[in-house]
Chain A
Amino acid sequence: MRDISLHLLDLMENSLRAGATHVECDMRLSEEGRLDICLRDDGCGMDPELQQSVLSPFGTTRTTRKVGLGIPLTAANAEKTGGALHIHSVPGQGTTLNVHFNTRHMDCLPLGDVAQTLWTLVITHPLSPEFTLTMASPQGESRFSTEEIRSVLGAEIPLNEPEVSAYLRDLLVEQAQTIFGGLLL
């Protein structure tokens, strides 16, 4: 993967495949350049055995092939910066992934386009699940929630309607710029 935002897209795809109805992404950048990302879903969860196996490149739930690289690649890129990836999961309740990157480390990937990651997920899943993105840095904090947007739009308008999707894209870009602009973007 070329940047952190692509890893996030990849990991959130796992949540969708786990049948989540709420997918949350919380990103916090500290004064010292430590980026903490918490991905939380209410999907099917994993038992301890599966949690171990997804950390290995040779573990996957797929049947079309024998490797699963999403989580191991993210973990490797986090560890290169002195960071780490942790999984906490309860079967039937959901999964939480905590990843931390030290963005000032010379091996740290660029952040990439977080707005585009979220937008891609939202417009290809216009009716459900609900997505939440919280971004925080010394420059401030922002919150994007499809549930809140739907409460204004009403349930009958899917989020991939052209005018809605353009609004969402501009909103996400604006938020990402405000929070991470000049720091990571």
Chain B
Amino acid sequence: MKTLQELEAIRQRTLERISLRKEDKEEAVRVVIGMATCGIAAGARPVLNAFMEEIERRHLRNVTVAQTGCIGMCRLEPMVDVYTPDGQKVTYVLVNPEKVRMIVADHIVNGHPVTEYTIGAADKQD
């Protein structure tokens, strides 16, 4: 059973971590997932959860995950935008949890966008 005492202990540890993090100014990566009706129906929720799992597993402290609405390309959902600290944005389309693992390993951790999953690659196939 989850208890409030447990939450209190987490509070202590997290406060320490937050104050440590304020000192090292590592710039953040932002992951934005489309969560409108089209995105959800296409499987955006497992995609978001896969990102959270990977971030947790790899202890990535500088990645935030957010959500957005529909941008009008419903047939390409689930769509994910990855914003890196260098000011670049890469849009991935038709994402699934397996692709998420690749995106996190290659792009977010190692800085090489996974070209074959991007919107540009999907466009060429049409």
**Chain A residues close to B by CB (< 8 Å):** 1, 6, 9-10, 13, 17, 62, 64-65, 68-70, 73, 116-117, 120, 123-124, 149, 152-154, 156-157, 160-167, 170-171, 174
Q: Count chain B residues whose beta carbon lies closer than 8 angstroms to a beta carbon of A.
A: 36
A124 to B40, CA, bound (A): 14
Residues of A contacting B65 in the complex (Cβ-Cβ under 8 angstroms): 123-124, 160
Given known contacts A160-B65, A162-B55, A6 and B45 CB-to-CB distance under 8 angstroms: yes
Q: Is B100 an interface residue (CB 8 A)?
A: no
Interface string of B41-55 (1 = CB under 8 A from A): 100010011001001
| Neighbour of A62 across the interface among B15, B66, B70, CB < 8 A | B70
Residues of A contacting B15 in the complex (Cβ-Cβ under 8 angstroms): 154, 156-157
Q: Is B11 an interface residue (CB 8 A)?
A: yes
A71 to B51, CA, bound (A): 28
| Neighbour of A153 across the interface among B7, B59, B71, CB < 8 A | B7
User: In residues 1-55 of chain B, which contact A (Cβ within 8 Å)?
Assistant: 1-2, 4, 6-8, 10-11, 13-15, 17-18, 35-38, 40-41, 45, 48-49, 52, 55
The A interface is mostly helix, strand or loop, or mixed, namely helix
Pick from B1, B10, B18, B55 the residue with the most CB of A within 10 Å. B10
Please state if A124 and B67 are interface contacts (CB–CB under 8 Å). yes
